[in-house]
Amino acid sequence: MTTTVRPGTPQRPSAVRLGLHRATIELKGFFRERDAVAFTFAMPAVILALLGSIFDGVYPGSDVTSAQYLAPSMIAAGVASTTFINLGTGIAADRDDGTLRRLRGAPMPPSAYFIGKILMALVVTVGETVLLLGIAVLAFDLSLPTDPVRWLTFGWVFLLGATACALTGIAASSLAGSARSAGAVMNLPYLVLAFISGVFYTPVGQLPEPLLTVGSLFPLKWMAQGFRSVFLPDSILPQEVVPSWEPGRIALVLAAWCIGGMVLCLTTFRWRGRRSR
Amino acid sequence: MTETPAIRVRGLRRTYGDTVAVAGLDLDVGAGEVVALLGPNGAGKTTTIEILEGHRHRDAGAVNVLGHDPAHADLDWRARIGIVTQDSGDLGELTVHESVSHFAHYYPRPHDPEQVIELVGLTAKATARVRTLSGGQRRRLDVALGIVGRPRLLFLDEPTTGFDPQARRRFWDLIRQLAGAGGCTILLSTHYLQEAEALADRVAVIVGGRIVADATPAALVGRATARTVVRWSDGRQETDDPAALIATLTTRYGGAVPELTVSRPSLEDVYLDLIGDGS
Ligand SMILES: Nc1ncnc2c1ncn2[C@@H]1O[C@H](COP(=O)(O)OP(=O)(O)OP(=O)(O)O)[C@@H](O)[C@H]1O
Ligand SMILES: [Mg+2]
């Protein structure tokens, strides 16, 4: 037979290469599902447009309108939605429709799957962020900072926040028993957190103490605070919980969630659905 | 090519709650062999196959597939296995070609994706989205994805469900080609007795999670031993040597024997008998 292979040759492709491959496949799959694309992008944008036009007024002691205050927080909520919800429901669907089973049957290093998912979520999140920034600038006169230091802050808050939410979303996908329940399972914590993190309810300093305490345990509150520190003047600080942007604490909490999310992923991830084990 | 069996199963058990799906199953599949699993719905075929694939865990028993325990197999082992599961609903938004060439990337020595698509007869649908495929076409894609990695051992769980007769014949040719020139070992489950008869070196019948018969299709219908029934317009006779009887009859009638039929118990008769009509 000519099919005999010398041991060790040829090599299976590396996890990174396969991860990049998966990312293109994931992106194709995502963008071809038109209605899902439309609603994923539209949800935070519509909420920003609605809440931004409902509330008006300027915060005392500053020239920040309530719409401008809302915008950076909505960007944080947008990041959470395109990472946490997108990955949580997407992976639950993969588990349900046999995608995971088929991939497990192939010689795919598990990390390739996660690299693909996270790269896909990152691309979608960047798109969402640009969309929300566009709405904030065009409709609500948010001015973009010129100071590169602020953009640097934007960069690390974005990366840490998106990673923390992505990993938590991957871990949370295992909570959903099926693809059909996943939407509800993922949206409940998301909506609750959006309220108690001072995104839908502004300004954050006005939240009742117990809710604030709970909200402060999760990454959304800190990501929103980080983005406000990028786009809002310091004159708005009296509306915050403490009159400081607390960059050190933001970095600490988001990094802790990245690590915790990673541990959760590694310990709770299920390749198989509850129906077939 | 190899002396050790490709699959060796001893005392395999699997229960789901109170349901005993596999109840002490023994099975050997030699390297290069094509074995068909037959059995009524719920007999435990899928459970058995998925345990051998490493997709489900087992409660007891010894399982060896290509030298490894599938429950703890690595990626190199996976690269030598091809899997076609009983059902699938993934890949919807990708095209046929994208799906096959994507999966080709995982394997060290894949077949050419175009060639595989041609082999399963999907060339005309290569650029169609998977969700637009008909049931049988989807099934053919599953087969394409199962073989694109050039497996040494191929699991096929009811691969031809939904195939039209022509596609089924074509699939049979493909399987013979894989098993023959390709040297691939194949374990397939099927409800089509004709398919088992056409493809399998050996047929294993599962009932209630146990193998109740395991033999070549010919041996199973007892062709080697059972008596053939010869019927004609005014007679009927059981014989071990139908050719001789027909020759005698031909001389007696001085030509064609009127209404001559020669029948043997079919695999279906034997199968229905094995599983017991009630089950
Ligand atoms: N995930 C599961 N949870 C509970 N019971 C299961 C599960 N999978 C299979 N069973 C049960 O185990 C038994 C064997 O099922 P299996 O799918 O192995 O049968 P099968 O021989 O493949 O049947 P079919 O010909 O219908 O495909 C059945 O009684 C089935 O109800
Ligand atoms: Mg089955």
Domain count, chain B: 1
Helices (H) and strands (E) in chain A, counts: 11, 0
Is the CB of residue A104 less than 8 Å away from at least one CB of chain B? yes
Tell me how far apart the alpha carbons of residues B208 and B205 are, in angstroms, rounded to a whole number: 10
Which residue puts its alpha carbon closest to atom 27 of ligand 1? B41
- Ligand 1, from B12, B14, B16, B212: best to mutate by most atoms within 8 Å of Cβ? B16
Nearest CA to ligand 1 atom 31: B42
Ligand 2 centroid distance, CA of A272 (Å): 17
Average pLDDT over residues B5-17: 95
Nearest-Cα residue of chain B relative to residue A276 = B56
Instruction: Give the start-end residues of each E strand in B114-207.
Output: 153-157, 185-189, 202-207
Phi, psi of B103 (to 5 degrees): -70, -25
Q: Which residues of B touch A104 (CB under 8 A)?
A: 54-55
Residues of chain B above pLDDT 90, percent: 63
- How large is the angle between the packed helices A148-172 and A86-97, nearest 10 degrees? 30
**Structure ipTM:** 0.84
Instruction: Decide if B54 is inside a domain.
Output: no
Please check whether residue B155 lies inside any domain of the structure.
no
Whether B40 is covered by a domain: the verdict is: no
- pLDDT of res. A5: 47
The answer to whether residue A24 sits within a structural domain is yes
Which neighbouring-strand residues pair with B10? B62
Nearest CA distance, A16 vs chain B (angstrom): 12
Residue B139 has pLDDT above 50, yes or no: yes
Report the separation in Å between the CA atom of A194 and the middle of ligand 1, taken as the mean of its atom positions. 43
List of chain A residues whose C-beta atoms are within 8 Å of the C-beta of residue B50? 276
Residues of A in contact with B105 (CB under 8 A): 13, 18, 21
Q: Answer whether residue A67 is part of any domain.
A: yes
CA angle at A99 for the pair B119 and A95, rounded to the nearest 5°: 160
Asked if residues A163 and A265 have their Cβ atoms less than 8 Å apart, the reply is no
In chain B, the residue whose alpha carbon lies closest to the alpha carbon of A10 is B108
Residue B31 confidence (pLDDT): 93
Contacts from A158-161 at CB under 8 Å and sequence distance 24+? A158/A79, A158/A129, A160/A223, A160/A251, A160/A254, A160/A255, A160/A258, A161/A76, A161/A79, A161/A80, A161/A219, A161/A222, A161/A223, A161/A226, A161/A254
Q: Which ligand is nearest to the CA of B41?
A: 1
- Going from the Cα of B48 to the center of ligand 1, the distance in angstroms, rounded, reads 10
d(CA B121, CA B127): 13
Asked if the structure places residue B167 within a domain, the reply is: no
Q: What is the DSSP letter of A14?
A: P
Residue B129 near residue B93, CB atoms below 8 Å:
yes
For B256, list phi and psi in degrees, rounded to 5.
-60, 135
Q: Are B164 and B138 in contact (CB under 8 A)?
A: no
pLDDT of residue B113: 96
pLDDT tens track for B16-69:
999 999 999 999 999 999 999 999 999 999 999 999 999 999 999 999 999 999
Identify whether B23 is part of a domain: no
User: In terms of residue numbers, what domain contains A26?
Assistant: 15-268
Residue A233 lies in a domain: yes
When divided into structural domains, chain A yields a total of 1
* Residue that has been written with the tokens 């009859």 in this structure: B249
pLDDT of residue B262: 84
- Whether a cis peptide bond, with omega within 30° of 0, leads into A203 is yes
Residue B262 belongs to some domain of the structure: yes
Q: Is B266 a domain residue?
A: yes
Q: A104 to chain B: nearest residue by CA?
A: B55
Closest C-alpha to B150, from B122, B181, B123, B127:
B181
In the chain, the amino acid numbered A229 is S
Decide: helix, strand or coil at residue B249: helix
- What is the pLDDT confidence band of residue B133, given thresholds at 50, 70 and 90? very high
At B63-107, the pLDDT tens digits run 999 999 999 989 999 999 999 999 888 898 999 999 999 999 999
Alpha-carbon distance of B222 to B15, in angstroms, equals: 34
Q: Which domain does B233 fall in, by range? A: 228-278
Closest residue of B to A24, CA-based? Answer: B102
Q: Does A98 touch chain B (CB under 8 A)?
A: yes
Query: Which ligand places an atom closest to the C-alpha of B52?
Result: 1
For chain A, residues with pLDDT lower than 70 are 1-10, 274-277
Q: What is residue B1's predicted lDDT score, i.e. its pLDDT?
A: 47
Among candidates B55, B93, B98 on the partner chain, residue whose Cβ is nearest the Cβ of A105: B55
Tens-place pLDDT, residues B214-251: 989 888 776 545 667 788 888 877 777 888 888 999 99
Give residue B135 CA to ligand 1 midpoint distance, Å. Answer: 22
Q: What does pTM read for this prediction?
A: 0.85
Task: Check whether the bond before A247 is cis (ω within 30° of 0).
Answer: no
Task: Say how many CB pairs under 8 Å bridge A and B.
Answer: 84
On average, the pLDDT of chain B sits at: 89
Helix/strand/coil percent split, chain A, to 5: 75, 0, 25
Answer whether B151's CB lies under 8 Å from B108's CB.
no
Neighbouring residues of A267: CB distance < 8 A, sequence distance ≥ 6: none
User: Residues with beta carbon inside 6 Å of ligand 1?
Assistant: A 275-276; B 16, 19, 21, 39, 41-47, 86
> B1 CA to chain A: closest CA distance, Å?
8
